[in-house]
Structure 1
Amino acid sequence: MPAPITQDLLTIPRKLPEGGPINLVGLTRAQLRDTLVAAGTPEKQAKMRVGQVWQWIYEKGVRSFDEMTNLAKPYRALLSERFVIELPEVVTRQVSSDGTRKYLVRIAGGHEVETVYIPEEGRGTLCISSQVGCTLTCSFCHTGTQKLVRNLTAGEIIGQVMLARDDLGEWPEPGRNPKDESRLLSNIVLMGMGEPLYNFEAVRDAMKIAMDPEGISLSRRRITLSTSGVVPEIARTAEEIGCLLAVSFHATTDDVRDRLVPINRKWNIADLLDALRAYPKLSNSERITFEYVMLRDVNDSDDDARRLIKLIEGIPAKINLIPFNPWPGAPYERSSNNRIRAFADIIYKAGYASPIRTPRGEDIMAACGQLKSATERARKSRAQIAAEAGM
């Protein structure tokens, strides 16, 4: 039965907030509480109202306040006047021959990012973006050729999860327990456009929403954050998110990594490995994944494999070998299948898992390292980029 409307609620002023209605998507529980109270929700009702609204948005996938039937009609009317539940806009949706889906997503300001859903046997992984463009200019990555425009908000990050669930038809049917539903989207990887740790707060808040047990309810072990090595934020990731960690490693000497992953000039391999050795202890995480893109005659020798084993000694790890995915104008070539297998064999014999990633979605430019929004954004000054990235 809907809670009775109190006199306090009936006298709430009806003036809209400056700038129009507030989007509730992306607000943490604490932020949602403060927002509802500021709109006139009585303090004594706030915890209950937050729980009700939260479940409608993130457990049931509802976008209209009129559908929130356990809220009294006057309160629903208030919410409709002051708030919206809005996701980023899907501009295009492409489906690969292997079933991979790529969404071109438009966010506020007309900017665009890409999101990729990868179906696999018994699971489905969503690769989401955290920035428009990227600051890092990794030389093997297509995304790195697009300059950073701005960070995504928490709502734009979790919104990618929600729009993918829309497309997959994964919100529970009315009257069904969401825990009974199959999980077409069972895993999240922050491996799309951008460096997640250069947008830490928004990524953290979005992932907290994804992990909340009264909503989308993904385990932290179903979420993997991939970083190129923003060393000062690695410990924060363990403490404030606690998800699994992947590292874009790609080289076994500072000279080569400086060229492939320029952030190495700021935090070199030794600095990065020191931070990684502490990570599982801080987060109670499982193995760290070392991502290693295989580039012909650049980083794929037997000596590279042996150096890699020596470098990661003492770190619970697996090495994910990624055949290079070409893009127009790329300065590298993919290592041969025989070379990749030989590299993998050396690592495997040293006691580390060394799966070779099967390229997915190559025919729609959705594979690892290929993402880049269709619209190039005008270059901005360094000061503007730094301000928008929160750096």
Structure 2
Amino acid sequence: MSVTLDLAAPLARSVAPPRPATASLEKPHLVGMDRDALSEALRGVGVPEKQLRMRTSQIWHWLYVRGASDFAAMRNVSRDLREKLDAAFTVARPEIVEEQISTDGTRKWLLRYPSRGAGRPVEVETVYIPEEGRGTLCVSSQVGCTLTCTFCHTGTQRLVRNLTPDDLVGQVMVARDRLGDFPAQDTPDGAIVPAEGRLVSNVVMMGMGEPLYNYDNVRQALAVVSDGDGLAISRRRITLSTSGVVPMIRPTGEEMGVGLAISLHAVRDELRDELVPINRKYPLKDLLEACRTYPGASNARRITFEYVMLKGVNDSLADARELVRLLKGIPAKINLIPFNPWPGSAYECSDWDQIERFAALVNEAGYASPIRTPRGRDILAACGQLKSESERLRKKERLAADAAA
């Protein structure tokens, strides 16, 4: 039986609940800034030039190593500087609207952010998946999506806005807070987490939205997440999934250096045009060529191709053979994803026997093709099930809301 926590009740941990984002709507956020921007922020509140480097490292440490969500917690920073920072900036966490826990230990948070042009506060979902030896956080990059992939629940929600670097990094911070993954914090009793090491050890940009349509913000956020003196999640443990924004694939490898996953799902253009409509702009030939030249791809660091198994649609053995043919020469592995149903979906999951036959054929051709175990289905936290109720106001309504604020 899944659980939904009452977040109005006191947390059963020795950590103060994060202040909601709505408490500091007008203040710039220090979380998500790179070091240069953080240094400029400190200069702006009067930190002397000769102290800037030291103070930048000090605040960075408090934010990303100690997990401070309030300037008052920064005990070795002078009271005067803390008060200046508190007056000018915020380090508050996103507001947690709801937390759900699946029977398999998967956790889903509904997070609320300021409107930032959307006309009203917006919400996204973030998912934590505990496994043996690792804990994976599935991060959303946009509120809604423009791509309308027909098998994906998020695709039924129109794009509201891009998430900013502090929105993105904030998802990692919330997860580490709630799991007790910062020093001096406690893991909730009964939580399913890795037995050893970091509780959030891997990050996948596979939540709501298309990360490569929010490229600059995602790049900056992942630079912060992977910084070795902070959150220190190795780039080898970060994977970005795209539906196929071909012009941005090479820059992703060159500038972010993270693992690449391709949301493939079909081996023929006519079917992929239907399932993943961006294929009409960037067809399979162009997409696969971008994968062949992806910087850093090798047998030691293969590209992941995600393939959702849809009964009678893309799951034939002929499809499996064509998949093998298409991927020839690409260092690849194929994640076979049993379709996760959602309200109103028009598809069914392939029969398990058929999924196994498909996987066996791909395996025999020399490609690893693990069948992804569905996680968090009971709380709509599985792949393709994420969605929030946020909608973008019309321009006239947004202007009126901004004027009222």
TM-score by length of 2: 0.85
The equivalent of 2:77 in structure 1 is 71
Change in CA separation of 1:241 and 1:378 when aligned onto 2, cut-off 3 Å: closer
- Which string of whole-angstrom CA distances, capped at 9 and with x for unpartnered residues, describes residues 307-332 of structure 1? 11111111111000000001111111
SS of 2:271's equivalent in the other structure is: helix
Match of 1:265 among 280, 297, 300: 280
Q: Which amino acid aligns with 1:190?
A: M
In structure 1, the partner of 2:232 is 217
Query: 1:132·1:149 contact (CA, 8 Å) conserved in 2?
Result: yes
Give the drift of 1:376: 4.4
- Counterpart residue identity of residue 105, structure 1: L
User: Aligned pair 1:98/2:104, yes or no?
Assistant: yes
Deviation at 1:73, TM superposition (A): 2.7
Gaps in structure 2 of 5+ consecutive residues: 1-24, 116-120, 186-195, 399-405
Q: What is the DSSP-based 3-state SS (H/G/I as helix, E as strand, rest coil) of the residue aligned with 2:335?
A: strand
1:99 partner amino acid: G
1:33 matched residue in structure 2: 39
The aligned counterpart of 1:86 is 92
Q: In structure 2, give the amino acid aligned to 1:266.
A: K
Indicate whether 1:113 and 2:124 are aligned. Answer: yes
The aligned residue for residue 328 of structure 2 is 313
Greater Cα shift, 43-52 or 69-78:
69-78
Deviation at 1:379, TM superposition (A): 6.5
Please give the alpha-carbon distance, in whole angstroms, between the structure 2 residues aligned to 1:66 and 1:285: 45
Distance 1:283 1:210, change over 3 A: farther
Aligned residue number for residue 361 of structure 2: 346
Q: Distance in 2 between matches of 1:314 and 1:112?
A: 41
2:159 corresponds to: 148
The answer (yes or no) to whether the contact 2:135–2:202 under 8 Å persists in 1 is yes
**Aligned counterparts, 1:1-391, within 5 A:** 20-109=26-115, 110-173=121-184, 182-281=197-296, 286-373=301-388, 375-378=389-392
Q: In percent, how many aligned pairs have the same letter? A: 59
Measure, in 2, the Cα distance between the counterparts of 1:379 and 1:337.
Answer: 43
SS class of match (1:372): coil
Mapped contact 2:267–2:319 kept (Cα < 8 A): yes
CA offsets, 1:157-207, max 9 Å, x none? 110000011100111129xxxxxx831111111110000000011111111
Cα deviations across residues 34-82 of structure 1 (Å, max 9, x unaligned)? Answer: 1111222222221111110000001100122232233233222222222
Report the count of equivalent residues. Answer: 357
- Alpha-carbon distance in structure 2 between the residues aligned to 1:39 and 1:229: 43
Asked if structure 2 preserves the Cα contact closer than 8 Å seen for 1:187 and 1:223, the reply is: yes
Deviation sequence 1:238-291 (CA, Å, 0-9, x none)? 111101010000000100000000000000001001111111447997100000
Is residue 243–residue 285 contact of structure 1 (8 Å, CA) maintained in 2? no
Measure the CA separation in 1 of the matches of 2:75 and 2:390. 44
1:347 Cα offset (Å): 0.3
Query: Matched residues in 1 for 2:33 and 2:295: separation?
Result: 29
Partner Cα separation in structure 1 for residue 107 and residue 94 of structure 2: 16
Counterparts of 1:68 and 1:292 in 2: how far apart (Å)?
A: 46
Q: How far apart in 1 are the matches of 2:244 and 2:392?
A: 27
Length-normalised TM-score, structure 1? 0.88
Q: What residue is the counterpart of 1:178 in the other structure?
A: none
2: CA distance, partners of 1:147 / 1:166: 30
The answer (yes or no) to whether the contact 1:88–1:105 under 8 Å persists in 2 is: yes
Aligned residue for 1:279, secondary structure, equals coil
Confirm or deny: 8 A CA contact 1:238 1:283 kept in the other structure: no
Give the 3-state SS of the residue equivalent to 1:124 in structure 2: strand
Q: In the aligned structure 2, how far is the partner of 1:366 from the partner of 1:228?
A: 19
